[in-house]
Chains A and B, each alone.
Chain A
Amino acid sequence: MIARVGLALLVATLAAPPDEPSPAGCIKDGGDLYAEADALLAEASRDPNGPALARARERLRAARRLSPSVDRTLQGADLAFATGDSEEGVDLLAAAAERNAGRLTPAELYLVARRAEERRRWREAIARYAALARMLDERGEDGSLIQAHLRPLILEAEAAEVAPPGAEPPVEAQLALADARRALSAGRLGEAREKLSVALHLAPTYVEALDALGAVETRAGHTSAAIRAYRAAVAADPGRVETLSALANLLWGEPDRAAKEESLAMLDRAVTLRPDLRPLMRRSAMRWAEFGDAPTALERLDRFLQNATPQEREETRALRETLARRVREASRTPETAPSKPAEPLPPEPASGAVALWQKARVLAARGDSESLATALALLAEAEAQDPSFASAPELAASIHQKRGEGDKAIASLERATEADPSRASTWEGLARALERDPRRSATAEDAWRRAAAAGSTEALFQLGEAAEKKGRRSEAIDFYRRYRDEAPAGSRAAEAAAAVARLEGQKRAAVWVFVGAVALAAIVGAVALYRRRSGRSFAEWLNEYPARAAEARPVLGRVRHEALKHGGLLLSDGAARIEAGGRESVEAARLLSTRLYGEGNSAGLIAETQGAIDELRAIASQDRVRLNLRHRDAVFSWLVKGLETLRRAHRPLERIAEEEDPPAEATRRLARILNDAARSFVLASGTEMERSLDRAAALPVRADALRALLARVAAEIGVVQPELETIGGVGVESPLPLLRMPAADWETLWRNLFSNALAPKDEPRGRPVRLGLSAQKRRDPITGEPRLRIALADDLPGALSAEQLRGRPSDRGWGVIEEVLRKNDGAFEIAPSPKGGFTKAIVLDLPALEEPA
């Protein structure tokens, strides 16, 4: 090449005319200038060290500008090399190669390619080397070295076109974004916009802030501003599905077709990035259909239907049929799909780690195993060079995922989040990777939370879903609301709004259910409390209705006999025998089982006692009284508890009765139950029950009260009131024992006795009858029970015997008296006159109460 330059210089020098200056003010064309240059070259050939050569090069430059020529350009290159100006020399060779590379020699072409490579003009270098390779091939020379040299250049060129990842935003910007999101959630759009302005001033490509600004402007109704913000976000990070979706939604609402085309492109990109988001696929199909591109719409719809539910199939059936028909009709004149918008050109790489990452991106995009392995190696090198460069492990993670290396992908993403915790997309990626492993769902949720904190709106939706699945309804509503507020045009905005509506409805329903349950519980509680506190005790009932004492007494006697006496006799000893174990335990269990729960004709202690209690309640209910023995009666409550305890012993007792050698634990447990019941029966004092009855039935015998009754009866009959004397011998003692008789019966008894005495049928009298009263307490010699004998003496003539009186009609006179006496365990007899002046005495024998000791 040098020889050629020297030769050219020599020829030019010899052939060139002498250099002369151009006349002032004369306009020259290219030919003139080339002529001048030739003259100057001729002069320079005579004086190579003179100024003519420099002037010749100037004339040539001017001439080439006016009249470009490959030959003259090559001539200029030769002159430049001859003067040692290889910079211009290669420039001129490059210019010549631009016009006709075939005019250059392989060496010249190599110089041009090499220079482009040195200057990192990868595409130019690739083109020159490629031309050189072709030239050598045409000449039959070996171009393999040049071809091999091309491959790294292509990688460099492609890598140079990859945009470098954004840097971590400053803390102030992150804080401003956090403030803005709080304001956005609270609906303070102005404040949110102001804070985002601060954040974006500090970090203009802060994607999360741009997204948030898009949300603010969307909610404010400033669609154009929102589109600008989302476009900037997409430019900063083309892989954010939420941003793409939001931008697509806003653009779709614009009236011009270009905006719709851009919208479809955004949506398609989002679908490509997240094919798992089926609503996006469906939306894509619908919009392509609306746009009029039936084939694309049909293709999207079919992809959506691959995993559709029966309901979704039904919903889209009509659309699919329409699309399919249109595709068939259009098959003769297929439509042209809209062109895809061009990607923005990426900036130049900034560091070694970034350059490695860019190359790795290119290799990763190629997708073959060799490229992926090389990419991983480059990324490892990038990570080693700059451990804070999060994009390297993040890209490594996506490669590992492509290779099916889930754990390695997660590890890479974890390193990426450590390197830069502010990147929402990295947390999102980590969360998605963790979600694939069901065992790590808790960790995945944590990653989603970190992503949300870093500004991910998708994370808000995911967290909402997770909270809903776990039944945390309020938390789910909160997340869905935040998503709806922060991503009003987001990919899942409609789903979030629906979820909020659904969950709030459920919450309201739950609140009503809760309120209803509380109200019901309150009512049930109040009823229970009322039933617990209302009603009467046994003693209260009898105090109010003492006449019932006579009916209640035999029933109470059964209670005492069955539960208190027999229960006491059997239970504690039975418990001791059962606890002793062995054969005796079984025998005791069998006996108790029979005695407590009955066998054959025997109802058993529990049923007998319960029957007696029920009978008492039934008697009380006749007075419209509810006996509350379980909760209001200090005595009977123990009896009821004892019965309840014994009911619990039924099964254990039967089991032990069926065993040959019952287990010790079972016998101990049963003995405990039986002892509890025995204690309850001891506390259910039978004497107290009896006292209640006695108090109700107690009737004092008062002579003055009988005289007053006598006066009333005499007045009713219309006779003169006789005197009621207390007569000697058996005179009325003071105090007399209390009678066990209702007051009403007592009055009925005496009213009839007095009536009989005052109105004798057989003999009219001219004077009032004389009546005397005496009383004597005694004890029954057989049973020892206390009795009171009360005698009513009169001076009526005629003999009268008890036999004569018995059997008279029960509703009249003596019949009534006899009935009252029978009911009250009393008796009567006719006695001779106890004292002079009286003809006979009617003696009543009535049960008395024991006098207090």
Chain B
Amino acid sequence: MNAAARKVLLVIEDGTEYVDAFTRLAPASREVELLAAPDASAARRLLAERRVDGIFLDVDFSRTPADRLLPGGARDQGFRIASALAPLFEPGVPIVIAHDFTLEPERLEALRERVPALEGIVDGTPISRVLERLTAP
């Protein structure tokens, strides 16, 4: 597969765990380009510069310095970033947040009003399945 055809995924997390996991544990990661953003402003820049085919959001950004956090706290920063960047998300681009909505379907529905393509991941889901979901046509 040539570079032009590769899908581009944006991973927004306060470390490198998810990028590392995608890279080393999901064989399909060879077919995607992974962009990493440590906070909302970095993600905003990347979204402005690049077209992305999928976005993965961590929830807890406790390791991010407070001055780089969106107001409201680190514990649910992922939701705040999703909400803040929602206008930049291309329609149809899958947005996966590292949260299990099994007990909160109405919450997911409420969030989708602002981020329509938002999805959660059920606890125990392998990273390869997450990648699969992000790269699904």
Contacts and interface: CB of A to CB of B under 8 A. Distances in A.
A573 B26 contact: yes
B76 A564 contact: no
Interface stretch (B31-39, B41-49, B102-110): B102-110
B37 to A, nearest CB: 19
A678 B129 CA distance: 14
B124 A853 contact: no
Given A577-B24, A577-B25, A687-B103, A564 B124 contact: yes
B123 A573 contact: no
A566 interface: yes
B72 interface: yes
Contact of B21 (A564, A570, A850): A570
Interface in B115-130: 121, 123-128, 130
Contact of A565 (B72, B98, B102, B106): B98
Nearest to A595: B17
Contacts of A681: 123-124
Nearest to B79: A783
Contact of B107 (A557, A587, A690, A779): A779
Interface string A670-706: 0000000010011001110011001000000000000
A786 B106 CA distance: 9
Contact of B105 (A569, A574, A853): A853
A7 B125 CA distance: 146
A569 B100 contact: no
Contacts of A686: 100, 123
B80 A588 contact: no
Contact of A853 (B106, B123, B125, B127): B106
A837 B114 CA distance: 38
A587 B79 contact: no
B111 interface: yes
Given A565-B100, A595-B17, A781 B127 contact: no
Contacts of B72: 782-783
Interface residues of B, number: 35
Chain B CB within 10 A, most for which of A565, A573, A784: A784
Contacts of B106: 779, 786, 850-851, 853
A755 interface: no
Contacts of B18: 569
A685 B108 CA distance: 20
B75 to A, nearest CB: 8
Contacts of B76: 782-783
A630 to B, nearest CB: 20
Contacts of A573: 21, 25-26, 126-128
Interface string A579-603: 0000010011001000100000000
Contact of A591 (B25, B83, B102): B25
Contacts of A721: none
Given A573-B126, A782-B83, A691 B103 contact: yes
Interface in B37-94: 60, 72, 75-76, 79-80, 83
Contacts of A570: 21, 25, 127
B17 A678 contact: no
B24 A569 contact: no
A748 B83 CA distance: 35
Contacts of B130: 569
A563 to B, nearest CB: 9
A548 interface: no
Contacts of B98: 565
A591 B24 contact: yes
Chain B CB within 10 A, most for which of A566, A685, A690, A783: A783
A568 B130 CA distance: 11
A840 B79 CA distance: 33
A568 B80 contact: no
Contacts of B26: 573
Interface in A176-213: none
A579 B20 CA distance: 19
Contacts of B102: 687
Chain A CB within 10 A, most for which of B20, B76, B125, B126: B126
A785 interface: yes
Given A570-B25, A783-B76, A682 B17 contact: no
B35 to A, nearest CB: 19
Given A564-B124, A569-B125, A785 B107 contact: yes
Contacts, number: 96
Consensus secondary structure, chain B interface: helix
A850 B109 CA distance: 12
Contacts of B79: 782-784
A31 B121 CA distance: 154
Interface in A781-817: 781-786
A114 to B, nearest CB: 119
Contacts of B125: 568-569
Interface string A554-576: 00010011001111111111101
Nearest to B106: A850
Contacts of B24: 577, 584, 587-588, 591
A778 to B, nearest CB: 10
A678 B110 contact: no
Chain A CB within 10 A, most for which of B60, B72, B110: B110
B110 A569 contact: no
A356 B50 CA distance: 122
Nearest to A782: B83
A784 B110 contact: yes
A788 to B, nearest CB: 14
A783 B59 CA distance: 10
B109 to A, nearest CB: 8
Chain A CB within 10 A, most for which of B83, B98, B100: B100
Interface in A501-557: 557
B84 to A, nearest CB: 8
Contacts of A561: 60
B83 A568 contact: no
Chain A CB within 10 A, most for which of B24, B27, B98: B24
A334 B6 CA distance: 122
Contacts of A565: 98, 100, 121, 123
A784 B60 CA distance: 16
A678 B25 contact: no
Interface in B1-38: 17-18, 20-21, 24-27
A560 B120 CA distance: 14
Interface string A298-336: 000000000000000000000000000000000000000
A850 B20 CA distance: 34
B56 to A, nearest CB: 11
B107 A687 contact: no
A636 to B, nearest CB: 14
A783 B121 CA distance: 16
A567 B26 CA distance: 15
Contact of B25 (A574, A691, A786): A574
A799 to B, nearest CB: 28
Given A564-B124, A853-B106, A781 B83 contact: yes
A217 to B, nearest CB: 88
Contacts of A574: 25
Interface string A80-103: 000000000000000000000000
28 contacts: A560-B123, A564-B124, A565-B98, A569-B121, A569-B125, A569-B127, A570-B25, A572-B126, A573-B21, A573-B26, A573-B127, A588-B24, A588-B25, A591-B20, A595-B21, A678-B124, A681-B123, A687-B100, A690-B103, A691-B103, A779-B110, A782-B76, A782-B80, A783-B80, A783-B111, A784-B110, A850-B106, A853-B106
Given A568-B125, A681-B123, 6 more contacts: A569-B121, A682-B124, A691-B103, A782-B72, A783-B76, A783-B79
Interface of B: 17-18, 20-21, 24-27, 60, 72, 75-76, 79-80, 83, 98, 100, 102-108, 110-111, 114, 121, 123-128, 130
* A-B residue pairs, 8 tightest by C-beta: A568-B124, A573-B25, A784-B111, A682-B124, A564-B123, A784-B107, A784-B110, A686-B123
